[in-house]
Structure 1
Amino acid sequence: MKKSRLLAPLFGALLFSQGAVHAADDALEQRLQRLERRVGHITELMLEVQALKRTNRELQGQVEEQQHMLERLRKKQRELYLDLDERLGRLQGAPAAAATPAPEERPAEVPAARPVPGSSPAARSSSSKPSRSAGERADYDAAYASLNPSKRRYKDAINGFNAFLAKYPQSDLADNALYWLGESYYVTQDNKSALAAFDRLLKEFPDSDKVPGALLKKGYILDAMGKRKEARNTLQQVLDQYPSSSVASMAKARLKHMKSR
């Protein structure tokens, strides 16, 4: 009997401890489940972040590719302008043409004839032109040849025309050299240098047949620089002063495009 009384508290304590253990196990299990849910949530967030990073890299790659394509299109457009200038010069051969004829198509210089007795002073003055050395012609032709569409050595053309202008500042080809120097800078997207070349042509050779083309390209460059008012004024100058030139229609089209933007 005594033994039973002694064992009763012991069993009670044992049952209580087992219950406490079960309760602790349940609490621990719940904590583990909460932690697992949190870890799972964090894992999902990490996966989402990684997916966003991957998408961002893909989009960045697409943007870079589109920028590269746009740059190539812009360069191609400039090359087309240059080629168009050359073709206009070859087809028309007019004094107001935007481009000079190719060197091999330019007429050879004819030695000035001796004045005929009784001829007018105007006739005598028109038959005399400044002499041009063979080296001068060769240097110009070498620089111009670099612009050939099959070569497109624009840096060589820039160096060649700059060297020509430094060596022959009084040459009757100086205005041509300045124009094609501006075109070379324009194609290579050096707008600041191109604008300087065209401005120099307009200032030093206001009577040159390259003036309409120089004004047209100046308008293009000013538009690209965001100077819309100056660009419109320059392009309008082409229409006002050279309405029959080969570039007048191009100036008109550009002005129309600018108004639609």
Structure 2
Amino acid sequence: MKLNMITATSVAVLFSAQINAAAPVEEAGTNTSTTAVANSSVALSSSNLTMEQRIERLERMLQARNQVQLDLQNQVEDMSDSMSTMVGQLEQSNYQIEQMIERQREIYQELDRRFAQLQASPVTAKASTEAAPVAAGEDQSYDAAVALVMQDKDYDAAIPAFQSFIKDYPKSSYAPNAHYWLGQLQYTRGQRDQASEQFNKVVNDYPDSNKVAESLLKLGIIAQFQNNNAEAKTLFTRVVKEHPNTAAAGLAQTRLAKF
């Protein structure tokens, strides 16, 4: 009986010891789980922070790229404007060169005309005496107007000089040249409408004049300035077809190629 009681007591002690031993294990397990969860939260928080940093970095890179693209676009637009200005200046320079070449050609034509006139066969003394006052006045008036252009470069004074010549000698053989010179001077001063009247006068009233081709060319150039490209093409084509192998035809062909 006594032995059985000792045995029961021992078993109870062992059972209690086991229970008490299990508690720390369970608490330890609980603490470990809590720590793991906390560590996971810290890791997740750290991961989220890194992601945010990466997103902010990408956003900054995107903004920087957009700014670079905007700067490049602005530079391209500035370059385009500069190129347009340069092209306009180049076209204006080319036109001025064309005008200089054409003016020199006209000067030589005038000199050839005057030289040929001096070498012409003399008329009879009576006819020369009767015609001299009129011819002298006509020649002097025309030569004076031309000299204002070629020698004095006084274009402002040359315009009324040619206007007076046309008024005083409407039937003169120099009339088509006078109309052309007047149109050229008015065109140079930017008076394109008045210049067109003079060039049309040459084309319509003096179809046999050697100034018709140049007048048609000038009318085409004026049409271009007025953004009337269809009319300009028609006039340039007319120069090429009706007056081939002329300097005016070459210039007209060059302009046609640019359309």
Q: Could you say which TM-score interval applies, normalised by the shorter chain? A: 0.5 to 0.7
Distance 2:75 2:237 in 1: 47
Partner of 1:213: 210
Distance 2:183 2:248 in 1: 23
Distance verdict in 2 for CA 1:218–1:20, change over 3 Å: closer
1:154 and 2:120 correspond: no
TM-fit CA distance, 1:25: 0.8
Q: Normalising by the residue count of structure 1, what TM-score does the alignment of the two structures yield?
A: 0.58
Instruction: Judge conservation of contact 1:147–1:157 (CA < 8 Å) in 2.
Output: yes
TM-fit CA distance, 1:37: 2.9
The unaligned stretches of length 5 or more in structure 1 are: 97-106, 114-124, 204-210, 236-250
Distance 1:231 1:142 in 2: 31
- Whichever of the two has the greater Rg, that structure is 2
For 1:160, give the aligned amino acid. Answer: A
Distance verdict in 2 for CA 1:200–1:145, change over 3 Å: farther
Instruction: Judge conservation of contact 2:138–2:169 (CA < 8 Å) in 1.
Output: no
Structure number with the higher helix fraction is 2
TM-fit CA distance, 1:164: 3.3
> What secondary structure is seen at the aligned counterpart in 2 of 1:93?
helix
Structure scoring higher RCO (CA < 8 A, sep ≥ 6) equals 1
Matches within 5 A, 1:74-223: 74-93=98-117, 113=126, 128-129=130-131, 131-132=133-134, 140-148=142-150, 150-166=151-167, 168-169=168-169, 174-186=172-184, 188=187, 192-199=196-203, 202=206, 211-215=208-212, 217-218=214-215, 221=218
Instruction: Judge conservation of contact 1:143–1:157 (CA < 8 Å) in 2.
Output: yes
TM-fit CA distance, 1:143: 2.6
For 1:128, give the aligned amino acid. Answer: E
Instruction: Judge conservation of contact 1:146–1:153 (CA < 8 Å) in 2.
Output: yes
1:52 and 2:50 correspond: no
Report % sequence identity: 11
Aligned residues: 210
Partner of 1:69: 93
TM-fit CA distance, 1:83: 0.9
Q: Normalising by the residue count of structure 2, what TM-score does the alignment of the two structures yield?
A: 0.58
CA RMSD of aligned residues (A): 4.5
